[in-house]
């Protein structure tokens, strides 16, 4: 179970670090970079556990070099992990930012259109037919005025010339008003159509979201910028994966079972009838099915194959050549 958890975290950390290799380079370069980052992260996860083994086999020199290797691997892993974590949500953040910007722009444009519509002066709606009819009235009034006033000749000026001129001027004023109303009508229609299109777009578009809600919440709590919050989270997540893998790997390796290797115990040689035996304790393995004697009772001492195997195994496991058979006597009974 411990090894399963440890290697799951190690593979996850290595995968996160190696993914940046594929994201930052293309082709064979990306593959080689990804494989290298995976290996570096995987080795770094074993750093503390292997440092313990290095201490047993090589002493403090191995520990110092292992610490250096582990630190270098950790920095490289964090570098790749930060790139992956920061780039992983970049597309989504860009989409949300663009969407929010579009919604804000539409709302600002809608407000401008409504303000422009309200700023239009009062007018009477007019169509193109209204302008055409008014223009025809001006043409007719002009013809009447020319006939009455004799084309400007004083001698041909009739008694109603002044009235015809007044009527023509009134028609021209009406034409000017009709054209102004027509322009205002067209302008108002365009403003209303544009506002309606923006309203429809706002109604159908999804609601704007924060580019990174987590970073925004953290920024609100701490007062730090959102960009700093995003970078800090990318770093912290990579560090959590790598340190978690290191710790679980250390626990898994430190709790690995120790296998005791014992060799077969030969039958003790029969003592001569006249041989005096000073130690009344039985020899190792004496009697059918009898357990081996303790090291203090073993008359053959370190030459006993069973106790010699136990001592060698304990020395190898503990990494201490000073272990004595008598010191291990309480452990072997």
Using one digit for the tens of pLDDT, what is the confidence trace for 152-165?
666 667 778 888 88
User: For residues 141 and 96, what is the distance between their CA atoms, to the nearest angstrom?
Assistant: 64
User: For residues 103 and 108, what is the distance between their CA atoms, to the nearest angstrom?
Assistant: 9
Same domain, 165 and 306: no
**Residue 313 resides in a domain:** yes
Same domain, 112 and 152: yes
84-124, pLDDT tens digit by residue?
Answer: 777 767 777 778 888 888 888 999 999 999 999 999 888 88
**Residue 95 resides in a domain:** no
* Contact in structure between 309 and 263 (CB atoms under 8 Å): yes
The number of distinct structural domains making up the chain is 3
Highest mean pLDDT among 4-18, 48-62, 175-189, 226-240: 175-189
User: For residues 208 and 53, what is the distance between their CA atoms, to the nearest angstrom?
Assistant: 55
| Distance (Å) of CA 59 to CA 63, 251, 255 | 7, 20, 21
Residues 6+ apart with CB under 8 A from 63: 51, 54, 55
Residues 6+ apart with CB under 8 A from 137: 171, 174, 175
Structural domain range at position 136: 102-204
Residues 6+ apart with CB under 8 A from 231: 82, 86
Same domain, 188 and 219: no
Same domain, 217 and 70: yes
**Residue 181 resides in a domain:** yes
Of 11-15, 124-128, 243-247, 308-312, the least confident: 308-312
Tokens 């083994």 found at: 53
Same domain, 119 and 139: yes
Same domain, 106 and 191: yes
**Nearest 5 degrees, angle CA 175-CA 181-CA 186?**
125
DSSP 262: -
Q: Rounded mean pLDDT of 35-45?
A: 82
Q: Residue 10 above 50 pLDDT? A: yes
Q: How many CA atoms lie within 13 A of 82 on its CB side?
A: 14
Highest mean pLDDT among 135-149, 209-223, 309-323: 135-149
Q: Residue 148: what are its φ and ψ, rounded to 5°?
A: -75, -35
Q: Residue 1 above 60 pLDDT? A: yes
User: For residues 14 and 249, what is the distance between their CA atoms, to the nearest angstrom?
Assistant: 14
265-321, pLDDT tens digit by residue?
Answer: 445 444 444 444 444 444 444 444 444 444 444 444 444 555 566 666 666 655 555
* Contact in structure between 17 and 38 (CB atoms under 8 Å): yes
User: For residues 110 and 112, what is the distance between their CA atoms, to the nearest angstrom?
Assistant: 5
Same domain, 180 and 44: no
Same domain, 248 and 299: no
Residues 6+ apart with CB under 8 A from 294: 329, 332, 333
**Residue 264 resides in a domain:** yes
**Residue 327 resides in a domain:** yes
* Contact in structure between 71 and 41 (CB atoms under 8 Å): no
Tell the burial category of 241 from Cβ atoms under 10 Å away from its Cβ (0-12, 13-18, 19+).
buried
Confidence (pLDDT) at 332: 46
Confidence (pLDDT) at 276: 43
Same domain, 195 and 238: no
């Amino acid at each position: 179970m411990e090894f399963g958890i440890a290697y799951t975290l190690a593979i996850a950390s290595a995968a996160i670090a190696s993914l940046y290799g594929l994201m930052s380079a293309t082709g064979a370069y990306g593959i080689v970079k990804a494989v290298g980052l995976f290996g570096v992260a995987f080795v770094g996860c074993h750093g503390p556990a292997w440092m313990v083994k290095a201490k047993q086999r090589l002493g403090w020199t191995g520990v110092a070099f292992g610490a250096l290797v582990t630190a270098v691997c950790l920095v490289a892993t964090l570098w790749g992990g930060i790139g992956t974590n920061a780039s992983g949500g970049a597309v989504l953040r860009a989409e949300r930012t663009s969407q929010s910007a579009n919604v804000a722009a539409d709302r600002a444009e809608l407000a401008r259109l409504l303000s422009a519509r309200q700023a239009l002066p009062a007018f009477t709606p007019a169509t193109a037919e209204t302008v055409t009819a008014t223009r025809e009235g001006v043409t007719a009034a002009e013809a009447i005025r020319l006939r009455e006033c004799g084309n400007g000749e004083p001698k041909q000026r009739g008694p109603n010339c002044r009235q015809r001129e007044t009527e023509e001027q009134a028609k021209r004023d009406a034409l000017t008003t009709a054209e102004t109303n027509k322009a205002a009508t067209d302008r108002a229609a365009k403003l209303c159509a544009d506002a309606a299109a923006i309203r429809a777009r706002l109604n159908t578009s999804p609601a704007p979201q924060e580019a990174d809600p987590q970073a925004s919440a953290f920024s609100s709590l701490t007062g730090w910028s959102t960009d700093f919050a995003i970078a800090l989270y990318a770093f912290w997540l990579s560090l959590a994966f790598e340190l978690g893998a290191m710790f679980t790997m250390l626990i898994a390796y430190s709790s690995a079972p120790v296998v005791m290797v014992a060799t077969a115990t030969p039958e003790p040689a029969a003592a001569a009838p006249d041989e005096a035996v000073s130690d009344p304790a039985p020899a190792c393995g004496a009697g059918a099915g009898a357990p081996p004697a303790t090291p203090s009772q073993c008359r053959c001492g370190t030459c006993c194959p069973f106790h010699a195997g136990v001592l060698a195994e304990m020395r190898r496991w503990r990494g201490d050549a000073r272990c004595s058979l008598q010191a291990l006597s309480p452990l072997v009974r």
